A and B are shown apart, each in its own frame.
Chain A
């Protein structure tokens, strides 16, 4: 099972087992890590599952869709290149070792 490392808003690091085909949002939400509200439940309609992806992994992620772009654009904490909505990224074996950080709350 691919492993991902998540840094919370308070700076704690957690290594999570991620099932292939789950979204990153689901992996984080279903663990007991605090800080991921994911208010819309993965519908690509809020930005409460915003994460920063380690730059080394950016190229392996699916491109940002127009919808994701609109929502990220509405966040006050967007960072170029590394900001993503975790509900829009499905886990695959190639993401083993992924490192990410939960973005601050808007």
Chain B
């Protein structure tokens, strides 16, 4: 059994399938606990995480993509490393991504993503989502079993964002084939991690071309909105800025959404009564989704870099320390969520989980993710009854096993084999 006191969360594959006992061990050390490796403080407390997320002046997002790996490209000196960080920022990986930006530059880039997935746009896209759900379900539903992740969730999420952005159909297949796994591989070498992030680079050429075309003529899609967009001060973003944001939207949104749908189905299978309750009252779906995000959210660990020495909850945090916000643990903090390991559809503060982050970097794709999962759950419940886990793949009840991607940033089911009765 893993020795929690010495475990390295960032390399230890034994913490992948079920990280929650380890998170509870960390919580027993306090809401902010020092890890034995990599100069990291791990946050399992909800209130403490919120305090950190709401103080972006002290806690930079420069390391947001992959946290403490690779090492900082400089040796932190003193109690304020803001200038050091600014001088070395370009040497860190993935700092072109909006998630890794700070301050005014971040506000400018983020402003381009605001109002993208509003109620009216999602409503106009709803019909496409329902049709797509049926097309995918048609391909396997009669056989009575499937791998929900590979056969439904991943293609669904990819095609929805591709359609919203306006990616031509011919290119969508190429994109699906070329996109690698998300960053944060447990035990991965630094070079490999860099390659994972840079694995998105092929997108730049394509998106550069799409955006140039749309600066000439709008096509009514999100890329056209980007091509015509201005920053809040009225200045025009460079094509390069827009390419980063578009590629990020395409790359970041789909995998997390697909895995969230997988988590929802796992919870349904493990709680047949809950499955029945939601099947019979679809108005419970939004509350169910928020509870699954809280209980089994796709983002397991987000990172910040302390740029100024400070104190949170009585713990001194030295400038240069990596902060690992363990959302999976914060969302099960019993000080905030009563009976945190129960799925309660009437939890009064259910929407206040940190599964989509909070503060200036809150996930801009949250409304889209929720709309996608809502449409999917509705159609899945319409077309399948008695949804169960496949014993052949996951084992017998009481001793079931699941394979998660070996990633420390995400909680991502690699597959979910389910069996069901098809509804004709």
Contacts and interface: CB of A to CB of B under 8 A. Distances in A.
B405 to A, nearest CB: 26
Consensus secondary structure, chain A interface: loop
B351 interface: yes
Given A40-B366, A43-B362, 17 more contacts: A29-B54, A39-B352, A39-B362, A41-B358, A41-B359, A41-B360, A42-B362, A43-B113, A43-B364, A44-B118, A44-B119, A45-B117, A45-B366, A45-B367, A67-B115, A71-B119, A90-B232
B114 interface: yes
A66 interface: yes
B362 A41 contact: yes
B360 A43 contact: no
A8 to B, nearest CB: 16
B241 to A, nearest CB: 17
Contacts of B361: 41
Contact of B366 (A43, A71, A87): A43
Nearest to A71: B119
For chain B, the bracket of interface size reads: 20 to 34
Contacts of B367: 40, 43, 45
A21 interface: yes
Contacts of A44: 114-115, 118-119
Interface of A: 21-22, 26, 29, 37-46, 48, 66-67, 70-71, 87, 90
B116 interface: yes
Contacts of B364: 41, 43
Interface of B: 54, 107, 110, 113-120, 232-233, 351-352, 356-364, 366-367
A68 B119 CA distance: 9
A66 B122 CA distance: 13
Given A39-B352, A90-B232, A29 B359 contact: yes
B115 A43 contact: yes
A67 B114 contact: no
Contact of B119 (A22, A29, A41, A70): A70
A40 B110 CA distance: 13
A66 B119 CA distance: 9
